[in-house]
Amino acid sequence: MGSTAPDIAAVSAQGYDGWLGAQFSMPRGSTFWNWLQSRGYNNPDMIFRDDGFDSMMWSNLIAGEDQLRQRVGVALLSMLVVSVDSTPTEYKPFAMAGYLDIVWDNAFGNYRTLLDKISMNPVMAYYLTFLNNRKADSRGAQPDENFSRELLQLFTIGLHQLNLDGTPKLSGGKPIETYTLDDVSGLARVFTGWVMENPLNTTPDRYSKAMVQDASKHETGVKTFLGTTIPAGTDGVASLKIALDAIFAHP
């Protein structure tokens, strides 16, 4: 995206391994959050404006020396999708910056760590509708299943079991499904009780914070999915760890 003639010359001189090694060890420059803040986009008169988002993105993608991180970040963002248009109505660029910084900071890390961080991010919770998600109640209301479904289908194991070469496993000539609707419903119980750490919307600061648990909204009953059972009485933070560990270890 932002490669220059000297960059191309550096790849030629260092070789692929040398260039990749240098890129992996290169620290991030300015974060997306700091880029916005340093230019005054956190001023109260910007609360309902999208100004700064496009410039923030392009300045990092084009001018960043950490070109490998920029490219991996975009690739991950194409999988772990959120949208600036569906973020909260106030300080949208900052809301997105908080999410993007998670992805870019963990672009070279472990995918399990990244899953943990996006699962507690308020923008992801807005986009896939599990912010303030509540446990089932006596009126028949059930936890929102949007995130649990997308977590399985798009972010991790996918619809069908695979062989080591990536081809689908078959039974009777048909692909074997990796999960059922019951698995989605059971996993949705994990994603209850997650709320904003800071309720104040007069500054963008709350979008730099991970969500926290409201125990009164969390489902404390048994949660069963993918052959895993989380015992009754397990709190929300522990339930999330068990769930993500089980998904990450799925064959």
Q: What is the pLDDT of residues 160-198, one digit of tens each?
A: 999 999 999 999 999 999 999 999 999 999 999 999 999
Rounded CA-CA distance 109/107 in Å is 6
**Residue 66, number of CB atoms within 10 A of its CB:** 21
pLDDT at site 197: 94
Per-residue pLDDT at 1 exceeds 80: no
Mean model confidence pLDDT for the chain = 95
pLDDT at site 199: 86
The two tokens of residue 169 are 């496993």
pLDDT at site 86: 83
Return the ∠ at Cα 223 (arms to 242 and 238), rounded to 5°: 30
With cut-offs at 50, 70 and 90, classify the pLDDT of residue 140: confident
With cut-offs at 50, 70 and 90, classify the pLDDT of residue 41: very high
87-91, 123-127, 234-238: segment of lowest average pLDDT: 87-91
5-9, 143-147, 204-208: segment of lowest average pLDDT: 5-9
Rounded CA-CA distance 182/239 in Å is 17
3-state secondary structure the chain: CCCCHHHHHHHHHHHHHHHHHHHHHCCCCCCHHHHHHHCCCCCHHHCCCCCCHHHHHHHHHHHCCCHHHHHHHHHHHHHCCCCHHHCCCCCHHHHHHHHHHHHHHCCCCCHHHHHHHHHCCHHHHHHCCCCCCCCCCCCCCCCCCHHHHHHHHHHCCCCECECCCCCECEECCEECECCCHHHHHHHHCCCCCEECCCCCCCCCHHHHCCCEECCCCCCCCCEEECCEEECCCCCHHHHHHHHHHHHHCCC
User: What is the share, in percent, of the chain residues with pLDDT greater than 70?
Assistant: 100
pLDDT at site 168: 96
pLDDT at site 72: 96
Q: What are the C-alpha distances in Å from 111 to residues 84, 103, 200? A: 23, 10, 31
Rounded CA-CA distance 190/120 in Å is 12
Please give the average per-residue pLDDT across 132-159, as a whole number: 94
**Residue 53, number of CB atoms within 10 A of its CB:** 20
With cut-offs at 50, 70 and 90, classify the pLDDT of residue 211: very high
Please give the average per-residue pLDDT across 36-57, as a whole number: 95
pLDDT tens digits for range 97-137: 999 999 999 999 999 999 999 999 999 999 999 999 999 98
Rounded CA-CA distance 233/243 in Å is 15
Buried/exposed 137-170: b ≥16 CB within 10 Å, e otherwise: eeeeeebbbbbbbbbbeebbbeeebeeeeeeeee
pLDDT at site 7: 86
pLDDT at site 85: 87
Closest to 113 measured CA to CA, from 25, 225, 244:
244
Sign of the CA dihedral running 56, 57, 58, 62? positive
Per-residue pLDDT at 89 exceeds 90: no
